Homo-oligomer: A and B are copies of this chain.
Amino acid sequence: MRLAPLLLALLVSLPAAAAQPTTRIPQSALDTAAKLRATALADDTGWKVTESLTAEVGPRLAGSEDDARAVEWAKAKFKELGFDKVWTEPVTFPKWERRSQSAEVLGPHSQKLVLTALGGSVGGTAEGQVVRFPDLESLEKAAPGSLSGKVAFIDYRMERAQDGHGYGMGSRVRGAGPSAAIRAGAIAYLMRSAGTDNHRVAHTGMSRYADGLKPIPMAALSNPDADQLTRLLAVDPSTRVRMALDCGWDGEYTSQNVIGELTGSTHPDEIVLIGGHLDSWDEGTGAIDDAAGVGISMAAAKLIADLPQRPARTIRVVAFANEEQGLWGGRAYAQAHAAELAKHALVSESDLGAARIYGFDAGNIDDGAKDAVQQIAKALAPLGIEWRPGEGDPESDVGPFAAMGAAWAWLGHDATGYFDLHHTPDDTMDKIDPKVLQQNVAAYAVYTYLAAQAEGGFGSSPAKAQQPRSH
């Protein structure tokens, strides 16, 4: 039973790859891409779009009134930028709201603590002794009932890295910590923010309770507050806190993936998909996460639209709905467009900020398209971008489609400073460097144009489903 799908996949995909002719990008396209690169490095469309979204809409939590304003903004912006087609596709999800949150140390060292409810948290007030764990593993080993009446606190500090890999463990502490706390009997869950800064801004993000467990309030302390709680526990291991969260689930909401398209001149049914996500967390203005992704992809397409003629393939820019609470927009897109998967030449999303793009690669690629990937890499090299075969991933919202077999590209932002700001009130426009944003737009413009002008496909195929590259 288990071997059958694998064998089927091999039978379908291997001959197809072998039979396919080599994909090539013509010299004329490379010449145009070089001009596009120079234009992009002197253009401020990316900045203006990103600034407009962060200022005029501001924070835009999925399911809020701000979400609806963001959808209207995106439709208007696509039209203003001259896209050929603009439409929306519905995305339905449960709605979570944050109304208020506070916490304080009780007793002789009384003081307020800065925290933020984790997305998906139930509301409630909890008061109890804090028990500190250095990491997720140690909380998972706590005996059932051992935290009865107490507040579990995981004091794990996530690691800073260019590729952002420290977020792997950081987000596991957020995702799995609450359930481990409940199993040990805790009345509430606190964690050190999954973030690398040292400011009094806490990092929110989605969590969930494992099936069958009774939910408890869950929140993240800012790094300085986690330091402080740790110090107080060293002075007095019986330190108690009170935390009060007013938040929770409230029905369903239907938002929209907002899509703008430049219609291909010779292969209008073939699509190069780029994008970012339109929603953000509610405490910042979502500049690096992910107005920048929307701005970069809209601007890259706009610069291509300004060329004398449309490229061969259609360029589709998607402003995805509700990425933050579980890739809702990306999953809806994959589901709605499953039948056209093979028509998607390449898919990619910009969702790791607006720092310098340093790496490039592609995945789910046929052997016959590898030369074309190298051609793109060469065109990106003058931007300081290295071809890094085997690195990278399809980012967030294109992940579900890539998992279904879509060929994908990775234009990797330097994430060294990303998790200083990610999911905090501090994710604001001033954190973006306009010159660096131009490099981002130039990279996306060059990549997108060449993908749209490549003669031959890249390898998207349902046969590649369930075979994502692992690394």
By Cβ-Cβ distance, the 9 closest A-B pairs, closest first, are: A58-B111, A200-B425, A224-B428, A55-B231, A198-B430, A200-B426, A56-B109, A224-B430, A199-B199
Q: Does A332 contact B (CB under 8 A)?
A: no
Partner of A228, one of B55, B228, B232, B235: B55
Partner of A55, one of B110, B198, B235, B426: B235
Q: Are the C-beta atoms of B198 and A56 separated by less than 8 Å?
A: no
Q: Are the C-beta atoms of B235 and A114 separated by less than 8 Å?
A: no
Q: Are the C-beta atoms of A431 and B111 separated by less than 8 Å?
A: no
Contacts of A424 in B (CB 8 A): 200
Q: Are the C-beta atoms of B55 and A232 separated by less than 8 Å?
A: yes
Q: Does A57 contact B (CB under 8 A)?
A: yes
Residue numbers of A with Cβ under 8 A of B are 51, 54-59, 66, 69, 105, 108-112, 114, 198-201, 223-224, 227-228, 231-232, 235, 284-285, 424-426, 428-431
Residue of B whose beta carbon sits closest to that of A287: B224
Contacts of A108 in B (CB 8 A): 56, 69
Residue of B whose beta carbon sits closest to that of A59: B111
Contacts of A199 in B (CB 8 A): 199, 201, 426
Number of copies: 2
Contacts of A111 in B (CB 8 A): 58-59, 66, 285
Contacts of A56 in B (CB 8 A): 108-109, 232, 235
Q: Are the C-beta atoms of A430 and B223 separated by less than 8 Å?
A: yes
Q: Are the C-beta atoms of B231 and A109 separated by less than 8 Å?
A: no
Interface core residue of A51, A54, A57, A430 (most chain B CB under 10 Å)? A430
Given contacts A224-B426, A227-B428, A428-B224, contact A58 B200 (CB under 8 A): no
Closest Cβ of chain B to A109, distance in Å, is 5
Given contacts A199-B199, A201-B200, A285-B111, contact A228 B428 (CB under 8 A): yes
Contacts of A430 in B (CB 8 A): 198, 223-224, 227
The distance in angstroms between the C-alpha atoms of A102 and B155, with both chains bound, is 30
Contacts of A57 in B (CB 8 A): 109
Q: Are the C-beta atoms of B231 and A51 separated by less than 8 Å?
A: yes
The distance in angstroms between the C-alpha atoms of A192 and B108, with both chains bound, is 36
Closest Cβ of chain B to A52, distance in Å, is 8
The distance in angstroms between the C-alpha atoms of A392 and B235, with both chains bound, is 39
Closest Cβ of chain B to A344, distance in Å, is 35
Contacts of A109 in B (CB 8 A): 55-58
Residue of B whose beta carbon sits closest to that of A52: B235
Contacts A/B (CB < 8 Å), 13 sampled: A55-B109, A55-B228, A57-B109, A58-B228, A59-B111, A66-B111, A114-B425, A199-B199, A200-B424, A200-B428, A201-B201, A224-B430, A231-B429
